[in-house]
Structure 1
Amino acid sequence: MPALVCLVDSCAHPVDPAAPVSLCAWHAAVSADWVSARDGVTDLLPAPCRLCGSRLGVRWPSGWLCAVCEWRHGDPIDDELPRPRVDVVYYLRFGDRIKIGTTAQPRQRLAAIWHDELLAFERGDRLVERRRHATFEEERYARTEWFRRSPALDEYVLSLAAGVDDPWALLARWTSEAIARRG
């Protein structure tokens, strides 16, 4: 039986008889490098993830996966399943005041509140919110969830925002983690 030679013109190197394509080891490696440069690369999804809202995806030969929750772009979502509940404590700035509140539906809640900027999200429910209100009680406007800015409050909010470019992306990650835990 004659030895197999590489399919590439002017290459006479031998081919492993078990190889699925008649390429020498060097040409097979070059081909693999070329394919891998495109696949497995993180990039913008063609459209936001319908499950968690992230715009970041990973391109594979079989299609796009959300980089946050790993939903396969284009797959149907079971709309009968309720979205997982993710409670957050939010920190909003309006002028020189900061509001500390909590919600399980931050997009709807924040749309209903006048504010200049979303400063940060903290994972937590009413108990965490009450703890923050107690911690910053001296800065609190009486019987409201609004607080005067102070070095201590500013420092705390900055610590929550450290390393977070977009609080909404953090919320998307928490949501996708809750979906993954649910299975």
Structure 2
Amino acid sequence: MNELPILIVDDDTTFLRILEQSIKYHNLMVLTASSPEEAGQLMATQSFAYAILDLNLNGQSGLNLLQTLLSHYPDCKVLILTGYASVATAVEAMRIGAYDYLCKPASVKEILNALGLEESNLSESEEAACPSRNENIEQDSFNAMSVKRLEWEHIQKVLMEHDGNISLTAQALNMHRRTLQRKLQKRPVEK
């Protein structure tokens, strides 16, 4: 059992509560926060060896919290968990120091494995109840991305190049700012 608690930060309080209970079921200590401010208060009083951060925290970037967390605890293994994945944000998260990066939905098994935590308490029936999201995908097959997905990836890349500044990104993409904001509010399309 890990002696230090796992920090979980997600603005979706329902998801946060479910993930907290699921991880506690594996006899791991967990502390949660639903905002970067709450996470900062926890970091001021507690040490963390592991953290799970949502990429989008009420419009704020989880990458900023990642930097803050790693400045306090450089050995902390941080997993970025997001429903809005892109190659650009994954590369940036890893560049900053994230230990791993997973797309939602991810099973508890995948999350614990990504952090390198043992799942000794997971029975075969429980393991079968939360199968890997990749088990039905052939590893050797290659599926080209759709045009909409390619657009999403390009927008994310340009957004990262402009440090998240919407106006500069829109200008660089030769697009109206409101159009860019609408595109960013939509969930990314599947590959």
For the superposition of Structure 1 and Structure 2, which TM-score range results when normalised by the shorter chain? under 0.3
Q: Could you say which structure has the larger radius of gyration?
A: 1
TM-score by structure 1 length? Answer: 0.20
More strand by share: 1
More helix by share: 2
